[in-house]
């Protein structure tokens, strides 16, 4: 399949991406929160539950795997990536090596992983991956982000995207502006806009084919400690305004991260985004926490009861599938959902 065909399939209407690519330290934290300790076996068992939900492909187009997972198999012996392909779901892989402090820029980070990247991409493609993900992390704070930090991260994202395309993988380009902090919605708009401008600039300079990528942006939100109360429609309008100024129409789709919003918040805002009228790109999801949180809770409570964990995942997938079309409503959610 061409890069364009894969990118288009990942953002097919009614579908989106399940991000299940947590690194070991992140998975350890998520498992600890539900009273489990992390081991290779536990991580495999949990991810097997995620990837064997019957009918998952109805609303999930692709799953992002972690390096460990793409080398693991289901209990039947079938490698995870092959199982996904058989189920009509496109396997993807996280290829960045996490963040590291950016020298001379206190409290700012840069994402690493460019060294040896082409060899790893070639191996992942042979293991079945058809798309890749690299996440840059931008924090808003006093005098931050600096231009130096934004440039370093945008450059790395573009180098990664070019390498991924060279190996036949669709790059999912994720410049995440974190929602932590006391900043306003307006400040998040300005920062997200500056970051996406820099990313576009570097993508063009590195000769990335914009028709064969997906951008994974944050929604434009007020900081979690801002005290600002903003409605979903206002968030959607601010987000679309920034994206229309910074992401060319040649990019086939935007797959939002959830970034710490509750599952229902993320769905409601995706729905509002898809109600803003015709946009040049598909507006979809690539949620980690917003898809997985209820599943992990259900599974940790009763690991032998896969049906309940599957039901939790399929419900959120269905809700986000509806939001993709602007057809979600709060009445579709159980009254206890957060």
135 binds ligand 13P (CB under 6 A): yes
Among 37-45, 68-76, 283-291, 320-328, which window interacts with ligand 13P (CB under 6 A)?
283-291
Instruction: Say if residues 203 and 173 touch (Cβ distance below 8 Å).
Output: yes
**Cβ of residue 189: shortest distance to ligand 13P, in angstroms?**
19
**CB-wise, 274 or 320, nearer to ligand 13P?**
320
**What secondary structure letter does DSSP report for 219?**
P
Question: For residue 221, what is the enclosing H or E element?
Answer: none
Secondary structure (DSSP) of 101-122 = E-TTSTT-EEE---TTHHHHHH
**CB-wise, 2 or 112, nearer to ligand 13P?**
112
* Inter-axis angle of helices 40-51 and 289-301, nearest 10: 110
* Closest to 159 (Cα-Cα) out of 203, 217, 128, 193: 203
Instruction: Say if residues 170 and 131 touch (Cβ distance below 8 Å).
Output: yes
Interacting residue with ligand 13P among 145, 252, 288, 321 (CB under 6 A): 288
Interacting residue with ligand 13P among 11, 19, 191, 196 (CB under 6 A): 19
**Cβ of residue 332: shortest distance to ligand 13P, in angstroms?**
20
Residue 151 a catalytic site member:
no
189 binds ligand 13P (CB under 6 A): no
Instruction: Say if residues 252 and 214 touch (Cβ distance below 8 Å).
Output: yes
**Cβ of residue 285: shortest distance to ligand 13P, in angstroms?**
8
- In the chain, how long is the greatest CA-to-CA distance? 53
Classify strands 90-94 and 282-287 as parallel, antiparallel or unpaired.
Answer: unpaired
Q: For residues 12 and 1, what is the distance between their CA atoms, to the nearest angstrom?
A: 15
Catalytic one of 216, 234, 265, 333: 216
Number of residues this chain uses to bind ligand 13P (CB under 6 A): 11
Residue whose C-beta lies closest to ligand 13P? 288
Interacting residue with ligand 13P among 48, 108, 174, 282 (CB under 6 A): 174
**CB-wise, 249 or 253, nearer to ligand 13P?**
253
109 binds ligand 13P (CB under 6 A): no
Task: Using CB atoms within 10 Å of the CB of residue 228, give its burial: 0 to 12 exposed, 13 to 18 middle, 19+ buried.
Answer: middle
Interacting residue with ligand 13P among 257, 272, 313, 319 (CB under 6 A): 257
Q: For residues 269 and 30, what is the distance between their CA atoms, to the nearest angstrom?
A: 24
Catalytic one of 22, 48, 174, 176: 174
> Which residues, numbered 207-236, are part of the site for ligand 13P (CB under 6 A)?
none
310 binds ligand 13P (CB under 6 A): no
**Cβ of residue 303: shortest distance to ligand 13P, in angstroms?**
22
Q: How many CB atoms lie within 10 A of CB 243?
A: 23
290 binds ligand 13P (CB under 6 A): yes
From residue 107, alpha-carbon distances to 149, 193, 196, 234, 301 in Å are 10, 21, 21, 30, 37
Residue 133 a catalytic site member:
no
Within its chain, how far is the Cα of 157 from the centroid? 15
Interacting residue with ligand 13P among 92, 145, 171, 259 (CB under 6 A): 259
175 binds ligand 13P (CB under 6 A): no
**CB-wise, 143 or 269, nearer to ligand 13P?**
269
From residue 227, alpha-carbon distances to 176, 188, 238, 288 in Å are 21, 14, 18, 25
255 binds ligand 13P (CB under 6 A): no
296 binds ligand 13P (CB under 6 A): no
Footprint on this chain of ligand 13P (rule: CB under 6 A): 19, 135, 174, 257-259, 286-290
Which residues are identified as catalytic? 174, 216
């Amino acid at each position: 399949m061409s890069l364009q065909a894969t990118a288009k399939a990942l953002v097919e209407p009614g579908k989106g991406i399940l991000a299940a690519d947590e690194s070991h330290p992140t998975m350890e934290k998520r498992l600890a929160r539900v009273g489990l300790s992390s081991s290779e076996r536990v991580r495999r068992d949990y991810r097997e539950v995620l990837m064997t939900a019957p009918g998952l492909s109805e609303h999930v187009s692709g799953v992002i795997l972690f390096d460990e997972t793409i080398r693991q198999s289901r209990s039947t012996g079938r490698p995870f990536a092959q199982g996904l392909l058989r189920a009509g779901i496109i396997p993807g892989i996280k290829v960045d090596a996490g963040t590291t402090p950016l020298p001379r820029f206190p409290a700012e980070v840069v994402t690493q992983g460019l060294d040896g990247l082409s060899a790893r991409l070639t191996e992942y493609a042979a293991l079945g991956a058809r798309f890749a993900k690299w996440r840059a992390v931008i924090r808003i704070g006093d005098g931050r982000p600096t231009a130096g930090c934004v440039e370093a991260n945008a450059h790395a994202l573009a180098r990664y995207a070019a390498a991924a395309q060279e190996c036949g993988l669709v790059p999912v380009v994720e410049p995440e502006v974190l929602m932590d902090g006391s900043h306003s919605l307006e400040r998040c708009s300005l920062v997200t806009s500056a970051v996406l401008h820099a990313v576009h600039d570097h993508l063009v300079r590195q000769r990335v084919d914009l028709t064969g990528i997906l951008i994974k942006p944050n929604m434009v939100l007020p900081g979690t400690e801002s005290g600002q109360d903003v409605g979903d429609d206002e968030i959607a309008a601010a987000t679309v305004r920034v994206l229309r100024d910074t992401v060319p129409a040649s990019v086939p789709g935007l797959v939002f991260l959830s970034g710490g919003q509750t599952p229902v918040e993320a769905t409601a805002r995706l729905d509002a985004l898809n109600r803003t009228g015709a946009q040049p790109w598909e507006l979809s999801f690539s949620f980690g926490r917003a898809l997985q949180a209820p599943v992990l809770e259900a599974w940790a409570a009763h690991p032998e009861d896969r049906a309940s964990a599957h039901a939790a995942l399929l419900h959120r997938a269905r809700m986000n599938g509806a939001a993709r079309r602007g057809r979600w409503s709060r009445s579709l959610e159980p009254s206890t959902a957060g």
